[in-house]
């Protein structure tokens, strides 16, 4: 297994400094494990989600899109098993009042016994007995705060899809096998969040539920496993940082018959961690919703003149985690030949990079800024560009390298005569002269997937 360096602290600082990611409510001291996406972060996340949507929905005739609500009928979560089963064992320290997962390896001794030592304050005998803690956030619908009004913030998007299975199937006239995909927020009151945006309490999911005939589920499971791994590679994530992890019997979620994670090596002590799960959920969810709602959710197969409850193969990815993987994967520090100062580069795939090109006049005279501004204006109609005329040209290149901009266009003394500008490639540092008329096509070709 390759041992990748730990770049997390450097990334947290870069992300704040350059406007990728800020701590939520920072001026009030921050909200625990909740993050805001700044001007560059929101572009990167949208580009990533757009790539997923395009791959999973737009390019497939047998997958439909959906955007279901975060707030759902409370019975949904009883049916799904989340009210009773979406729990982690938790222990409290009576001394420092910190909370830990009962199976936290940093706890010495068995919680609840006099020998157990709190990993935060170091006191012995202060850790209580483990108790089950539900990870769903609860809130109240309407003005009355009683148990009848209790609802939950969804902990996964999947249930919104299951309860809409027949709505989508009948309105689109899709036939089994077909899928329903959606991107949306999910909330989990994680006991041990952390590692920047890796595990947070508010996050997003990109989930697709593929409804199949029972008996064909393992075939489809294998199909989606390989499709999803191919997609992660297509984002530019290094092959030696990606792997499958098969869930053993003791790891399987309450709904899963089989499950594989796609893991990415985040480096340092975090190492390989899940970025996406592929689950064979059988008919667990549809049959539970049938039972709890009293409404049939069977698919009617006209050709065979029979009804059946489909099985589900789910692909469940987290854009926040994948975004972190992209940053970790892309971050590098390099020496620059002939210069004392090195450069920091975010080697993001050009289709994902928030800014596609920096546009600079070499100097602020001889009409160069005017030409460069015109180029930037023209290109901005097709993709995001950044005009910059402040500081030495080397500095301007470095600023773009650090945020992952794949190309920098420089208008120089030859531009007026030749009708061309130089285009510098972020990774190879090669410079090419490209005619001003051809710039849009030149960059456009290179930033499409
Ligand atoms: N519907 C199935 C499901 O929710 P999951 O493995 O619990 O499966 C799917 O979640 C993906 O959602 C994970 O692979 C991860 O990328 C993302 N995810 C889950 N919990 C998260 C958290 N607390 N913070 C950030 N991302 C999370």
Looking at residue 449, its pLDDT comes to: 65
Q: Which long-range contacts (CB under 8 A, 24 or more apart) does 152-155 make?
A: 152/72, 152/74, 152/77, 152/82, 153/70, 153/71, 153/186, 153/187, 154/70, 154/71, 154/72, 154/185, 154/186, 154/187, 155/82, 155/86, 155/186, 155/187, 155/188
Structure token pair of residue 133:
């803690």
DSSP string for 304-317:
TTEEEPPEEEEEEE
Looking at residue 340, its pLDDT comes to: 80
- What is the β-pairing status of strands 299-301 and 306-308? antiparallel
What is the average per-residue pLDDT within 335-356? 92
Structure token pair of residue 370:
């005017």
Place of tokens 């850790």: 127
Atom 16 of ligand 1, residue of closest alpha carbon: 318
What is the CB neighbour count within 10 angstroms for residue 367? Answer: 11
What is the CB neighbour count within 10 angstroms for residue 441? Answer: 12
pLDDT tens per residue, range 360-384: 999 999 999 999 999 999 999 999 9
pLDDT tens per residue, range 379-398: 999 999 999 999 999 999 99
**pLDDT at residue 128 is higher than 70:** yes
Q: Which of 205, 261, 274 to mutate to test the pocket of ligand 1 (most atoms within 8 A of CB)?
A: 205
> Which is the closest atom of ligand 1 to the Cα of 321?
16
In DSSP terms, 357 is beta-bridged to: 385, 407
**CA 37 and chain centroid, separation:** 12
Atom 19 of ligand 1, residue of closest alpha carbon: 318
Q: Residue 337 — pLDDT band, cuts 50, 70, 90?
A: confident
Q: Indicate the DSSP class of residue 364.
A: S
Atom 21 of ligand 1, residue of closest alpha carbon: 199
> Which is the closest atom of ligand 1 to the Cα of 188?
23
How far apart CA 53 and CA 208 sit, in angstroms, is 10
Atom 24 of ligand 1, residue of closest alpha carbon: 199
Q: Which of 34, 184, 316 to mutate to test the pocket of ligand 1 (most atoms within 8 A of CB)?
A: 316
How far apart CA 356 and CA 342 sit, in angstroms, is 22
Place of tokens 């064992």: 89
Residue 257 near residue 246 (C-beta atoms within 8 A): no
How far apart CA 132 and CA 33 sit, in angstroms, is 21
- Biggest CA pair distance of the chain: 83
Looking at residue 442, its pLDDT comes to: 97
| Cα 204 to averaged position of ligand 1 atoms, centre (Å) | 8
Q: Residue 143 — pLDDT band, cuts 50, 70, 90?
A: confident
Atom 9 of ligand 1, residue of closest alpha carbon: 316
| Cα 205 to averaged position of ligand 1 atoms, centre (Å) | 7
Looking at residue 4, its pLDDT comes to: 87
| Cα 448 to averaged position of ligand 1 atoms, centre (Å) | 28
Q: Which of 4-8, 18-22, 195-199, 233-237 has the lowest mean pLDDT?
A: 4-8
pLDDT tens per residue, range 412-444: 999 999 999 999 999 999 999 999 999 999 999
pLDDT tens per residue, range 3-59: 788 999 999 999 999 999 999 999 999 988 899 999 999 999 999 999 999 999 999
**CA 338 and chain centroid, separation:** 39
What is the average per-residue pLDDT within 315-331? 98
- What is the β-pairing status of strands 357-361 and 385-387? parallel
Residue 316: how many CA atoms within 13 Å on its side-chain side? 23
| Cα 253 to averaged position of ligand 1 atoms, centre (Å) | 12
Q: Which residues line ligand 1 (CB under 6 A)?
A: 156, 158, 188, 190, 199-200, 203, 205, 207, 274-277, 314, 316-318, 320-321
Atom 17 of ligand 1, residue of closest alpha carbon: 318
Residue 180 near residue 93 (C-beta atoms within 8 A): no
Looking at residue 338, its pLDDT comes to: 76
pTM assigned to the model: 0.95
Atom 10 of ligand 1, residue of closest alpha carbon: 316
Instruction: Give 83's contacts (C-beta < 8 A, 6+ positions apart).
Output: 77, 134, 136
Structure token pair of residue 336:
């620059």
pLDDT tens per residue, range 246-279: 999 989 988 899 999 999 999 999 999 999 999 9
Looking at residue 172, its pLDDT comes to: 98
| Cα 154 to averaged position of ligand 1 atoms, centre (Å) | 12
Q: Residue 321 — pLDDT band, cuts 50, 70, 90?
A: very high
| Cα 109 to averaged position of ligand 1 atoms, centre (Å) | 30
What is the average per-residue pLDDT within 300-309? 95
**pLDDT at residue 131 is higher than 60:** yes
Atom 22 of ligand 1, residue of closest alpha carbon: 199
Structure token pair of residue 7:
């770049």
In DSSP terms, 312 is beta-bridged to: 211, 282
| Cα 322 to averaged position of ligand 1 atoms, centre (Å) | 11
> Which is the closest atom of ligand 1 to the Cα of 158?
1
Residue 359 near residue 372 (C-beta atoms within 8 A): yes
Residue 323: how many CA atoms within 13 Å on its side-chain side? 31
Q: Indicate the DSSP class of residue 113.
A: S
**pLDDT at residue 68 is higher than 80:** yes
How far apart CA 9 and CA 327 sit, in angstroms, is 12
Instruction: Give 190's contacts (C-beta < 8 A, 6+ positions apart).
Output: 33, 135, 199, 200, 201
What is the average per-residue pLDDT within 216-239? 98
For 323-343, b/e burial (b = at least 16 CB within 10 A) is bbbbbbbbbeeeeeeeeeeeb
**pLDDT at residue 2 is higher than 60:** no
For 107-117, b/e burial (b = at least 16 CB within 10 A) is beeebeeeebb
Q: Which long-range contacts (CB under 8 A, 24 or more apart) does 361-368 make?
A: 361/389, 361/410, 361/411, 362/393, 362/410, 362/411, 362/412, 362/413, 364/389, 366/413, 366/416, 367/416, 368/411, 368/412, 368/413, 368/415
Average pLDDT, the chain: 95
**pLDDT at residue 1 is higher than 80:** no
């Amino acid at each position: 297994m390759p041992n990748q360096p730990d770049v997390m602290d450097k990334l947290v600082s870069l992300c704040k400094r350059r406007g990728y990611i800020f701590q939520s409510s920072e001026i009030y001291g921050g909200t625990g494990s909740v993050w805001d996406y700044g001007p560059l972060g929101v572009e990167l996340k949208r580009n990533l989600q757009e790539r997923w949507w395009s791959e999973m929905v737009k390019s497939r005739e047998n997958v439909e899109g959906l955007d279901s609500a975060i707030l759902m009928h409370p019975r949904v979560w009883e049916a799904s098993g989340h009210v009773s089963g979406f729990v982690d064992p938790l222990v409290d320290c009576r001394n420092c009042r910190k909370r830990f997962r009962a199976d936290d390896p940093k706890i010495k001794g068995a919680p609840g016994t006099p020998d157990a030592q709190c990993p935060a304050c170091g006191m012995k005998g202060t850790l209580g007995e483990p108790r089950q803690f539900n990870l769903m956030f609860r809130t109240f619908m309407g003005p009355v705060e009683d148990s009848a009004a209790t609802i939950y913030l969804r902990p996964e998007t999947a249930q919104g899809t299951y309860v809409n299975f027949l709505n989508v199937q009948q309105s689109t006239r899709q036939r089994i096998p077909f899928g329903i995909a959606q991107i949306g927020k999910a909330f989990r009151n994680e006991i041990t969040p952390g590692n920047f945006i890796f595990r947070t309490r508010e996050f997003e999911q990109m989930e697709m539920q593929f409804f199949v005939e029972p008996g064909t589920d393992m075939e489809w499971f294998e199909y989606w496993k390989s499709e999803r791994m191919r997609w992660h590679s297509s984002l530019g994530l290094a092959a030696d940082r990606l792997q499958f992890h098969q869930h053993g019997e003791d790891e399987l979620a309450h709904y899963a018959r089989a499950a594989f994670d796609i893991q990415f090596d985040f480096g340092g002590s975090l190492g390989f961690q899940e970025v996406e799960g592929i689950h064979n959920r059988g008919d667990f969810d549809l049959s539970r919703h049938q039972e709890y709602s009293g409404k049939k959710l069977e698919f009617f197969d006209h050709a065979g003149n029979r009804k059946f409850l489909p099985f589900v193969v789910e692909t469940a990815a987290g854009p926040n985690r994948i975004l972190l993987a992209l940053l970790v994967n892309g971050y590098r520090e390099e020496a620059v030949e002939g210069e004392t100062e090195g450069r920091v580069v975010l080697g993001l795939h050009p289709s994902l990079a928030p800014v596609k090109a920096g546009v600079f006049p070499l100097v602020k005279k001889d009409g160069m800024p005017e030409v460069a501004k015109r180029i930037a204006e023209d290109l901005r109609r097709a993709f995001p560009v950044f005009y910059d005329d402040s500081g030495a040209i080397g500095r301007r290149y470095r600023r773009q390298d650090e945020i992952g901009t794949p190309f920098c266009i420089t208008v120089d003394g030859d531009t007026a005569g030749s009708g061309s500008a130089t285009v510098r490639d972020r990774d190879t540092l090669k410079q090419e002269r490209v005619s001003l008329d051809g710039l849009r096509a030149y960059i456009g070709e290179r930033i499409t997937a």
